[in-house]
Amino acid sequence: MFDQITLVGNLGRNPEMRYTQTGDAVTNLSAATNRTYQVVDGEQVKEAILFRVSVWRKQAEACNEYLHKDSKVLVILRLNTDPNTGGPRLWTRP
């Protein structure tokens, strides 16, 4: 079972930081990875995948201070599994 992903991409927007009731910093990032490939008929296809990432505590404060839209980022993240299926939790836009 997969539990870790490494991605290299760009931030889609500026980080958003907030504090929890216990005083922990949380920064939310939107990282995008891009790839281009050719299909059989020679047409080029561009594909972007967006990842929502949450960073906590000291790293959250550093991300908020130093990162901005279009910054290059390397993210090593842990997947949270869905308790019902055991697979990764997937988010779909309503």
pLDDT in tens, 14-34: 999 999 999 999 999 999 998
> Domains of the chain (ranges plus CATH)?
4-78 (2.40.50.140)
Rounded to an integer, the average pLDDT of 54-74 is: 95
For residue 57, name the pLDDT band (cuts at 50, 70, 90). very high
pLDDT at position 2, please? 56
For residue 73, pLDDT beyond 80: yes
| Length of the chain as a residue count | 94
End-to-end CA distance of the chain: give it in Å, rounded. 28
Phi-psi region of 15 (alpha: psi -120 to 50; beta: other; left: phi over 0): beta
CA count, 13 A, side-chain hemisphere, 14: 5
